[in-house]
A and B are shown apart, each in its own frame.
Chain A
C-alpha cells in the first residue's frame, strides 16, 4: 500500500467508483479516446500517424506542465506564472549561445538550465523569504524576464539550430518521435520520484497540510524551494527544445504555456489545492489539451473560439472537481 490518495467517503461506495476516485487520470484518458474518435470522424483519416503529431506537440507541453504540477502540489495556492517568460527567454538564449553548432550544445543546455534554476530560486526566495504570494511573485519575475527577452530579441537574430538538438526535438527512432520517448521517460521518472521517494511523500504532506508537515519534522521550506527550482529548470529546457523545433525563437513563444501548463495539470487530475499529484495524469492532460486544440483547428474554429473553449474547459473541470479533496477553506 502506498500513499495513493484516498477518498473521504468510500465506505458506501462501490469498489469501481473508489478505483476511479483514486486514479483521477482515467478521466483525461477517456477524454482522449472520445476526442480521437471525433477527430477520426471529422477527418476520416483516423491513423496513428495523425496521433503522433498530436503526441509530439503534447510532449513539449509535458515538460513545463510537470514542473507546474510539482509547484501546484505544494499547496497554499502556489502556482508558477513565470513559466512562459522563462520559455521565451531560454529559447532566445539557446539559439544565440548554441548558434547551430553541436560543440556548443552542452554550454547552451547548461546555460538554459542555469537560467531556469536561477528564476526558480528567485521565485522561491520571494515566496519563502519575503512571503509574497506565489502568483504575484512569479507574475512579477515573469515581467522582469519579459524585458530581458525584449532585449535579447533586439540584440541578435540567428536561425541556426544545432543538429543534435534538432534531432532530439524532431527526429524519430523506429518511427517514434524522440521527444515522445523523452516525455515518457520524464513521466516515468517523475512518477517514480512522487511515489517511491521520501521527497514525493514530503511534497504531498506539505501540500496537504504545511503546518502538520512542519510539526512532523519535514523541511517544508526546502520542499517548496525544490518545487520552484524544478519548474524553472523544466521551463528552461523546454525553451531550448521549442527553439530547436521551430528553428528559431520569437516573442510570445511561451505565451500559450501560461494557461496550458495549468490546464494540463488540472485536466490530468492533480488537485489544484495541492497534496496530490499524478505524473501520468499530467501526461494524459497534456495530450488531451493538445488534442482539443487540434480538433478545434481541424473543425475550422476561429482562433478566438479556440481560446474561449480552452478557458471554458479548464473552468468547467475545476468546477466539477470543485470542493472534492479539499476540506475547509480556500
Chain B
C-alpha cells in the first residue's frame, strides 16, 4: 500500500521552542480489561493549533479525549500542561475545566427543559454573584451573556435565549452547546467532537470562522469529524488513529480525502470469510421497505449468511437490527452493551446462560437443575468458557467472558436467526477470535447471522455487508468485494458527497433529523389543561349556585383550597426531581397538630418542633440520595413517623390555634376574597422559588443529573435542599390548616397526599422530573378542591370524592401517554 509522501514543510502554526504546547499527552496507554483502547499514544497541542483527529469507528479517539479531559485515567503515560507536568490522580473534569480545557461532546450535555440563558447559568454561575436572592436580575445578565456567547460563534443565529432547549431544533441545540463552551474567558483548548453533525453548511462555515479567529488569539482546537473535507479545510495538523495507535501525523495540506480514507482503512486485512461462501441456503429473512430504497431491490438472507451492517455510527443499523428482532421474536440477540442490555447482575454465569433456553418454554414449566447444568456446560464448551466458572457470579468474569456467556444465552435459544448488536465492544482479542469461530459455526449449522459492528475490520468475517447511510442501505457488498477499504470508502464517500447522492436518489428513505420538537401538541395541551378545567369547574359552580360567585361565596369555597395549594406546591418540588413524597399529607397533618397544641401553649418549643420536622425532611433527602433507596418507600415509612408523632401529641381532634395564626388569615381587603389572595400569594412563592437560581439548578437535576454532577453541582446538597423546600411548603400548609380550622386533627392531612399528586399532574408537571409549573399546580389544586364542592352542589354523596379524584388522575395521565404515543408514532 502506497502512502502519500509526507510533506516536509512545517505546520501552519509552528510550535516554537519558546512556547510550550497548551497540553501534551505522552505515551498514553489505556486498556479496558483485555482491550487496548490507547496504545502508547502521544499528542501535543501547540497554542493556536487546530488538530484534526480522525480515525474509523473504534480507533481510540474518544478514549484519548476522555483522558485529556480527566474523565478517564490512563494506565500509563504523562500529561503536561503549558510545560508543567500534571499527575493524573489530580486530573478531573472540574480541574480540566478550571485550566481552560473544554470539550463539546457529541451527546449533548444540556438540560433540555431549561432555557438557553438558564443553561448558560448552569455552565458558569459566577456571573450571577451579587444579585440579591429572588430578584430576577441574574436572568438579565445571563440573557445578555448567552446572546453575546452565541453571536460570537454563530452571528444572526436567530436563537431566542428565552426559548427552552426542547423547543429548539437539534442543530440549534448543537450551536448552544458549542457557544456555551466557547465563551469561557479562560479557554485554552476546545475539543469539538463531531460539532457539525447537525449543522448546515452556513453554520459550519461560521464555526470555521470562529475557530480561525480564536486561533489568532492563541486558543487551540481539536476537531474530530467524519466529514474529512471539513477537517482538511480547518485543521493545521492532522492526526490519524487506527487500532488505538497514531498511524500518521502531519500538516493538513499533505493529505487528501482519499489518502485519509486509505490511511484509516490501512492495509487490506485478511480477505473475507472464504469458507462459508458456497451456494445459498434456504431463505430465512428478507429486508424490504424504504430502508432498501437506494438499492432498488429487496435483500434476501439465506441460511449460512453472515450479514454485516456497516456505516458510520448511528446511520440506522441498530434500528434495522431491532426491527428484525421484533419481527422474529424467537431470534437470539446479543448486545455489546452488557451492563444495560445483557447481564442479569444478581445471577451466576449458569443462570445467565440457561435463561436463553428457558425463555422458550412455558412460564409454568419446571426448571430441572440437571438439564440446566447440561445446557450451560454444552454452550460454555462451544464458546471455550471454563465450565468451572459457571457457578460464579457473572460480574466476576472479564468483559470477554461475560460476552461469551451472553452469546451462549443467545445460542441456547436455538433459533435460526442470530442478531448481534456490536457484540465485541471491549472484548479481548482471544475472545474475539473464539467469537468469530462460533459465529461461523452457527452460520454453517444453517442459521443466518446479522451482525452490526462499530469496528469495520470485524466485517471482514461476513459473507455479505450492507452499508448504511442516513437510515438506508446504500450499498451491498458480497464476498470478495468486502474489504476494509470498500467499507470505509462507501461510508465516508457517502458522507462527503452525501448531499448530491441523496438528492439524486429517487426516494431517499431518510428518517433524517428528528422532528423539531417531539411532544409539541401534548405539551401545549398539558399547559392549558389546568386553566380549562379550572374555568369549567368555576362556571359549573356559578351556574348551579349563583351565590358561589359572590365575594363571600368565593372566599368560603376557596378557603379549603389554601392548604391543598401549598401541599401541591411542596409535592411539585419533589416531583421536579422525579420522585414522589407519600408522606407529605401526614407531615402537614403533624404540623397542623403542633400548630394547635404546642405552638399555642409553648411557642418556643413549637418552633423547635417545626424546625425539627424540616430537619427530618433534610434527612429524608440525604437518605434517598446517599443510600439510593426509593423515595416512595422512605416517605411511606416517614408518613407513619409523622402520624405517630401526631397521635402522641394529640390522640383526639381538638386543640386551639394561636391567636396570631388565626389573625394571619382573618384579615380582609374590601372587595377581595381573602382566601383567593392567600392562594395567589402561595403561588407567587412557589413561582419565585422555581424561577430562582436554586430552582433552575433543581430543575436541571430533574432533567440531566449526570450533566450537572459533571459540571460540579453537588447532587446530595441539592436533593436535601429539594426536600427542605418541600418540607417548608408542607409546613405552611399545616399551619394554614390550623389557622382555617382553628383546631387540629392528625388525620386532616392524610387525604391530601393523593390530591397533591393529582394537582401536580393536572398542573402539567412531568412525573419523570424536570418540568414543573407553579401556576399550573395552583390551578390544578384549586380545581380539585372545587370539584368536591361541585359534587355536593350536584347532590352527589361525598363518598364519591375519592373515586372522582382517583379517576381524574388516571384519566389525565393516561390521556397524556396516549397523546405522546400517537405523536411518536407519526
Do A and B assemble together?
yes
Which residues in A have some Cβ–Cβ distance to B below 8 Å? Answer: 1-8, 10-11, 77, 79, 126, 130-133, 135-137, 139-144, 146-148, 150-151, 154, 196-202, 204-205, 208-209, 211-213, 215-219, 222-223, 226, 258-259, 262, 266, 271-273, 275-276, 302-312, 314-315, 318-319, 321-323, 325-330
Q: Which residue in B346, B413, B580, B638 is a CB contact (below 8 Å) of A5?
A: B346
The interface residues of chain A, by DSSP majority, are classed as helix
Q: Looking across the interface, which residue of chain A has its beta carbon closest to that of B649?
A: A304
Q: Which residues of A contact B761 (CB under 8 A)?
A: 136
Contact B629 A318 (CB under 8 A): yes
The answer to whether A211 and B648 touch across the interface, beta carbons within 8 angstroms, is no
Q: Select one of B340, B347, B809 contacting A3, CB under 8 A.
A: B347
On chain A, the residues within 8 Å of B393 by CB distance are 6-8, 10
Complex contacts, A202 vs chain B, CB 8 Å: 355, 358-359, 363
**Cα-based distance from A139 to B634 in the complex (angstroms):** 16
Q: Does B373 contact A (CB under 8 A)?
A: yes
Task: Scan B352-375; emit 1 where CB is below 8 A from any A CB, else 0.
Answer: 000110111111111101000100
The answer to whether A211 touches B813 (Cβ under 8 A) is no
User: What would 17 more interface pairs be, CB under 8 Å, given A130-B817, A201-B351, A308-B648?
Assistant: A2-B369, A8-B395, A136-B761, A140-B807, A143-B803, A143-B805, A147-B801, A150-B802, A196-B367, A204-B344, A205-B344, A209-B340, A213-B344, A272-B630, A311-B640, A322-B628, A330-B629
**Among the listed A133, A139, A272, which residue makes an inter-chain contact with B767, where contact means beta carbons less than 8 Å apart?**
A133
Q: Are B345 and A217 in contact (CB under 8 A)?
A: no
Q: How far is the CA of A243 from the CA of B652 in the complex (A)?
A: 27
**Alpha-carbon distance A276/B345, docked complex (angstroms):** 11
Checking B343, B366, B641, B806 against A140 with a beta-carbon cut-off of 8 angstroms, the contacting residue is B806
- Output the nearest chain A residue to B806 by Cβ-Cβ distance: A143
Q: Who on chain B is nearest to A199 by CB?
A: B363
Asked whether any CB of chain A lies closer than 8 Å to the CB of B142, the reply is no
Say whether A216 contacts B813, CB under 8 Å.
no
Contact A319 B627 (CB under 8 A): yes
A140-B810 in contact (CB<8A): yes
Question: When the two chains form their complex, are residues B358 and A211 in contact, meaning their CB atoms are under 8 A apart?
Answer: no
Q: Judging by beta carbons under 8 Å apart, are A303 and B647 in contact?
A: yes
**Which residues from A are CB-within-8-Å of B802?**
143-144, 146-147, 150
Collect the chain A residues with CB atoms within 8 Å of residue B342's CB: 209, 212, 215
Tell me, rounded to whole Å, the shortest Cβ–Cβ distance linking A275 to chain B.
5
From B188-196, B328-336, B472-480, B692-700, give the one contacting chain A. Answer: B328-336
Give chain B's interface residues, CB within 8 Å of chain A: 325, 329-330, 332-333, 335, 339-348, 350-351, 355-356, 358-367, 369, 373, 390-393, 395-396, 409, 413, 580, 582, 623, 627-634, 636-641, 643-649, 651, 754, 757, 761, 767, 799-803, 805-807, 809-810, 813-814, 817-818
**Who on chain B is nearest to A197 by CB?**
B366
Contacts of A330 in B (CB 8 A): 628-631
Cα A315 to Cα B623 with chains together (Å): 9
User: What distance in Å separates the Cβ of B212 from its nearest Cβ neighbour in chain A?
Assistant: 42
Chain B residue at minimum C-beta to C-beta distance from A211: B341
The docked-state distance in angstroms from the alpha carbon of A7 to that of B395 is: 9
B645 is contacted by which of A5, A77, A308 (Cβ under 8 Å)? A308
Nearest-neighbor residue (CB-CB) of A5 within chain B = B346
Task: Tell me the complex Cα distance, A266–B365, Å.
Answer: 28
Q: Select from chain B the residue with minimum beta-carbon distance to A314.
A: B637
Top 10 closest pairs, chain A to chain B, by CB:
A304-B647, A307-B644, A311-B640, A143-B806, A308-B644, A304-B648, A147-B803, A322-B627, A6-B393, A140-B806
8 Å CB contact of B638 from A10, A212, A315: A315
Residues in B neighbouring A309, C-beta threshold 8 A = 644
B501 nearest CB across to chain A (Å): 34
Q: Which residues of B contact A142 (CB under 8 A)?
A: 806
Cα-based distance from A266 to B364 in the complex (angstroms): 27
In the complex, are the beta carbons of A311 and B369 less than 8 A apart?
A: no
With A201-B367, A315-B623, A323-B627 in contact, is A79–B632 under 8 Å at CB? yes
A150 to B395, CA, bound (A): 52
The answer for the CA separation of A17 and B409 in the assembled complex, in Å, is 30
Task: Tell me how far the C-beta of B348 lies from the nearest C-beta in chain A, rounded to whole angstroms.
Answer: 6
Distance between Cα atoms of A150 and B801 in the complex (Å): 11
Q: Is the CB of A1 within 8 A of B350?
A: yes
With beta carbons under 8 angstroms apart, the residue of A77, A148, A205, A307 that contacts B355 is A205
Contacts A198-B358, A198-B362; A212 near B343 (Cβ below 8 A): yes
> Once the chains bind, are A311 and B809 in contact (CB under 8 Å)?
no
What is the bound-complex CA distance between A8 and B345, given in angstroms?
8
- Whether the Cβ atoms of A325 and B627 lie closer than 8 Å is no
Can you pick out 17 interface pairs between chain A and chain B where the beta carbons lie within 8 Å of each other?
Answer: A2-B351, A77-B630, A132-B813, A136-B580, A140-B807, A197-B363, A201-B355, A208-B347, A209-B344, A226-B363, A259-B636, A271-B346, A272-B630, A304-B649, A307-B641, A312-B641, A314-B637
B637: which of A204, A259, A321 is its contact (CB, 8 Å)? Answer: A259
Would A198 and B638 be within 8 Å (CB), given that A140-B807, A272-B630, A308-B644 are in contact?
A: no
- Chain A residue nearest to B351 in the complex (CB): A3
Q: Residue on B with the closest CB to A133? A: B767
From A11, A140, A271, B809 is in contact (CB under 8 Å) with A140
Does A217 contact B359, Cβ atoms closer than 8 Å? yes
Q: How far is the CB of A162 from chain B (nearest CB, A)?
A: 28
CB distance B364 to A199 under 8 Å?
yes
CB A156 to nearest CB in B, in angstroms, measures: 15
Write the chain A residue with the least CB distance to B804. Answer: A147
Given A3-B348, A304-B646, residue A136 in contact with residue B809 (CB < 8 A): yes
* Most A-side CB within 10 Å, residue of B332, B641, B651, B761: B641
A283 to B633, CA, bound (A): 20
Note all chain A residues with C-beta closer than 8 A to B346.
Answer: 5-6, 204, 208, 271, 275-276, 325
Chain B neighbourhood of A141, CB < 8 A: 806, 810
Q: Which of A3, A150, A199, A330 has the most CB of B within 10 A?
A: A3
**Chain A residues within 8 Å of B807, by CB:** 140, 144
Residue pair B634, A275 in contact (C-beta under 8 Å): no
Q: Which of A132, A201, A223 contacts B358 (CB 8 A)?
A: A201
- Whether B345 lies near A144 (C-beta < 8 A) is no
Chain B residues whose C-beta falls within 8 Å of the C-beta of A321 in the assembled complex: 629
Q: How far is the CB of A253 from chain B (nearest CB, A)?
A: 16
Q: Is the CB of B647 within 8 A of A211?
A: no
> Bound state CA distance, A151 and B393, in angstroms?
53
In the bound complex, CA of A238 to CA of B790 (Å): 36
Q: Are B366 and A136 in contact (CB under 8 A)?
A: no
Cα(A212)–Cα(B359), bound, Å: 12
**Cα distance, A139 to B636, chains bound together (Å):** 12
Residues of A within 8 A of B367 (CB): 2, 196-198, 200-201
In the bound complex, how far is the Cα of B814 from the Cα of A308, in angstroms?
36
Residues on B with beta carbons closer than 8 Å to the beta carbon of A150: 799, 802
Please, which residues of chain B bring their CB within 8 A of the CB of A323?
A: 627-628
CB distance from A207 to the nearest CB of B (A): 9
Contact (A218, B359) CB under 8 Å given A315-B634, A318-B629: yes
B637 touches A217 (CB 8 A): no
Cβ contact of A147, chosen from B366, B582, B646, B799, cutoff 8 A = B799
Knowing A217-B413, A218-B355, A259-B636 touch, does A136 contact B767 (C-beta < 8 A)? yes
| Distance in angstroms between the alpha carbons of A10 and B348 in the assembled complex | 12
Other-chain contact of B627, A4, A303, A307, A318 (Cβ < 8 Å): A318
Cα(A77)–Cα(B339), bound, Å: 19
Chain B residues with CB under 8 Å of A147's CB are 799-803
Is A318 a contact of B358 with CB atoms below 8 Å?
A: no
**Is B810 within 8 A of A326, CB to CB?**
no
Among residues of A, the one whose C-beta sits closest to the C-beta of B803 is A147
Assuming the A-B contacts A198-B365, A307-B641, are A126 and B344 also in contact, with contact meaning beta carbons closer than 8 angstroms in the complex? no
Query: Once bound together, how far apart are the Cα atoms of A151 and B799, in whole Å?
Result: 7
State whether A143 touches B359 (Cβ < 8 A): no
Of A144, A204, A226, A266, chain B has the most CB atoms within 10 Å of the CB of A144
Docked-complex contact B413 and A6, CB < 8 angstroms: no
Residue contact B348 to A209, C-beta cutoff 8 Å: no
Most chain A CB inside 10 Å of its own CB: which residue of B350, B367, B817:
B367
CB contact between A144 and one of B395, B409, B806 (< 8 Å): that residue: B806
